[in-house]
Amino acid sequence: MPWRPAPMDPVYTPASYPGHDYLGPGEIVTVRAGREVVGHLTRQGARLGWLPRPALSEAAGAVRLIVEDVLCSFARDGRPLVDAWAECLRLTQHDSPVVAPLDGFRHPLADD
């Protein structure tokens, strides 16, 4: 097959907030749906992490979608991270934020 120029960049990623490396101290919020843990929202300065749990119930899955929708829409609109963080906390049931080491919150697909 002959070479043809690509009509657009073959790599597209939606707007997002920068992620952190899960090293050192950071702010951790456990997001819940009733008694079920939906995931952990973490923040380290101007960097954000969202680690949802797998195999969620229907209610917890809805909460996961709410958090992900807020993060995606706020990043797409160019709104600051602190606004997205505040909106996630306003819309979800969560534990009090704690400052703790993020070393145990490594994403399972992260490179060592």
Question: What is the mean pLDDT of the segment spanning 53-70?
Answer: 93
Distance CA 17, CA 78 (A): 9
Question: What is the mean pLDDT of the segment spanning 58-73?
Answer: 94
**Listed ranges 5-19, 28-42, 96-110; the one with the highest mean pLDDT:** 28-42
* pTM higher than the cut 0.85: no
Confidence of residue 104 (pLDDT cuts 50, 70, 90): confident
Distance CA 14, CA 5 (A): 23
CA neighbours closer than 13 Å in the CB half-sphere of residue 93? 11
What Rg do the C-alpha atoms of the chain give, in angstroms? 17
Q: What residue segments make up the domains of the chain, in order of their start?
A: 25-95
pLDDT at 10 over 80: no
% of the chain at pLDDT higher than 70: 80
CA neighbours closer than 13 Å in the CB half-sphere of residue 20? 24
